[in-house]
Amino acid sequence: MRIHEPVRAFIAIRLTPEVDAAIARFQNGLRALRSDVSWTKPDAFHLTLRFLGNRVQPLTIDRIARGLAPIAAATAPFAVQAHGAGAFPSIGRPRVIWIGLADGELSKLAAQIEALSVKCGLEPEERRFTPHLTIGRMRNPARDPRMRQALESAAELDFGSSPITSVTLYRSHLSPHGAAYEALATLPFTG
């Protein structure tokens, strides 16, 4: 991994293609309701464990990659259940549309990565970790009874279980066509 300039970066996990496909089918149903949503492409679905920043220095990226190695080595593979849909800040006025992710290991892993990030010089995350997978962002959040009903009816929808066997440090490239993600380091769970 050779980084020579500050980069936009984050640490994330990916779900299986089967779970991504189930989520994409649900997402396609929502597409018919609103045209002013920036939808996440299914091949870019991920759970962000820690957003590192828009201009992370190369030395910090290197320290974080090295620090992730012992965390991954001590973590056993686990399963994550993709279950339910919702929105931030609320389904009444959605800005971010998400799929819920459930497993106690996610919070533990996120806490370890948060501690590593702070140790490497990043500011502590102000928001509490809430495991979710973003599938869309509203350009003009407004009350929409059809979207609200669709999200309420999906509160108990099951998208499947996904084995999680690694964690990845990503570089994000922003463009007018959306974000593209480059894996800088993928560390398998071997605990």
Reduced to 3 states, what is the DSSP secondary structure of residue 101?
strand
Tokens at residue 18, please?
Answer: 């089967």
Which domains does the chain show, CATH number per domain? 7-188 (3.90.1140.10)
Note the pLDDT of residue 136: 94
Task: Say yes or no to pLDDT of 152 above 80.
Answer: yes
Task: Say yes or no to pLDDT of 15 above 90.
Answer: yes
Q: d(Cα 52, Cα 64) in Å, to the nearest integer? A: 10
N-term to C-term CA, the chain: 24
Q: What is the mean pLDDT of residues 151-180?
A: 92
Residue 1: band (very low, low, confident or very high) from pLDDT cuts 50, 70, 90: low
pTM: 0.92
